[in-house]
Structure 1
Amino acid sequence: MRQTLRVAAYAVVVRDGRLLLARSPVPGGDPEWVLPGGGMEHGEDPYDTVRREVEEETGYRVEVTGLLGVDSVRRALPRRPLRRAVDHHAVRLVYEGRIVGGELRDEIGGSTELAAWQPLDAVTDLVRVGLVDTGLRLWRERPAAGRTERVDG
């Protein structure tokens, strides 16, 4: 089985009781809300990655105010036509950010289609990726070890 590794950086940006999120289209399914962020380019510092990705996906420039933690997930991705199955490992650095400039806008030609502020108390009702919950948990709990215990289910 082929092995892949993806290192990415994401931001938890909370302002006035609302969380900044981006929405990603899902082929054949409902779009999912995600934390703004994404994969590091070769040679790029994760601090620079998160700032670049937030601006690309939301239009906002952010100041990184802290590292909330690191999330590591390993999944077996099934075989697809003309491709082998993949043992995928995602390492995701989750930062806290504060808006310092720019204006809210949607990404054009990227991995997301919409950027929006969502009320914190409404996030659980959204179709979202698990990293949104992990990021919020890191933001709320601020664990000294920079990671939360996994809850299966």
Structure 2
Amino acid sequence: MRRKLRVAAYAVCVRDGQVLLARSPGPGGVPEWVLPGGGMEHGEDPYDTVRRELAEETGYRIEVTGLLGVDSARHVLARRGLRAPVEQHGVRLVYEGRVTGGELRHEVGGSTDFAAWQDLDAVSALNRVRLVDVALRLWRERPAAGRMP
């Protein structure tokens, strides 16, 4: 089985009791909410990745105010046709960010199609990826090791 490592950086931006999220078409076309962020380009620093990705997906510029932690997950991705499955290992750096400029807008032609501020109390009712919960827990609890048990 082929293996692939993907390193990505995401931001938790909270203000006035709301968190900034982006919406992805999701598997099977069922939309799901994700943290703004994404994969690093070769040679790119993760600090620059999170600022670039957040701007692409939301229109905002941010100041990175801290590193909340790291999340790691492995998945086997089935491929269609003759291609063999791929074991993907994702390493996700989760930063805290503060919006410093720009205007909220939706990404066009990217991995997300909508961006919005969501009430923190309402996140549990949203169709969302696991990383949203992990990141919000890192933001709330701020574990010294930067990792949730």
TM-score (norm 1): 0.95
Is the deviation greater in 22-31 or in 7-16? 22-31
Other-structure match for 1:113: 113
Other-structure match for 2:54: 54
- How do 1:33-112 residues align onto structure 2 when only pairs under 5 Å count? 33-112=33-112
Matched letter for residue 127 of structure 2: V
Two-structure CA RMSD over aligned residues (Å): 0.9
In the comparison of the two structures, how many residue pairs are matched? 149
For residues 5 and 82 of structure 2, the distance between their equivalents in structure 1, rounded to whole angstroms, comes to 20
- The question of 1:127 aligning with 2:127 is answered yes
Other-structure match for 2:3: 3
Aligned residues with identical type, % of pairs: 77
Other-structure match for 2:142: 142
Other-structure match for 2:16: 16
For residues 80 and 3 of structure 2, the distance between their equivalents in structure 1, rounded to whole angstroms, comes to 15
Q: Residue deviations 1:16-59, cap 9 Å, x none?
A: 00000000012533200000000000000000000000000000
Is the deviation greater in 77-86 or in 33-42? 77-86
What's the CA shift for 1:79? Answer: 3.8
Any unmatched runs of 5+ in structure 1? none
Any unmatched runs of 5+ in structure 2? none
Indicate the SS of the match to 2:67: strand
For residues 49 and 40 of structure 1, the distance between their equivalents in structure 2, rounded to whole angstroms, comes to 6
For residues 141 and 15 of structure 2, the distance between their equivalents in structure 1, rounded to whole angstroms, comes to 17
